[in-house]
Amino acid sequence: MALRLGDEAPNFTAETTEGTINFHEWLGNGWGILFSHPKDFTPVCTTELGTMARIMPEFKKRNVKVLAISVDPIDSHKGWIKDINETQNCTVSYPIIADPDRKVAQLYDMIHPNALDNLTVRSVFIIGPDKKIKLMLTYPASTGRNFDELLRVVDSLQLTANYKVATPANWRHGEDCIITPAVSDDEAKKLFPKGWKAVKPYLRYTPQPTK
Catalytic residues: 45
Partners of 133 in the β-ladder = 127
Residue 60 to residues 31, 32, 95, 154, 200: CA-CA distances in angstroms? 10, 10, 14, 12, 38
CB 39 within 8 A of CB 8: no
The strands making up 133-139's β-sheet, listed across from edge to edge, are 19-22, 13-16, 96-98, 64-70, 31-37, 122-127, 133-139
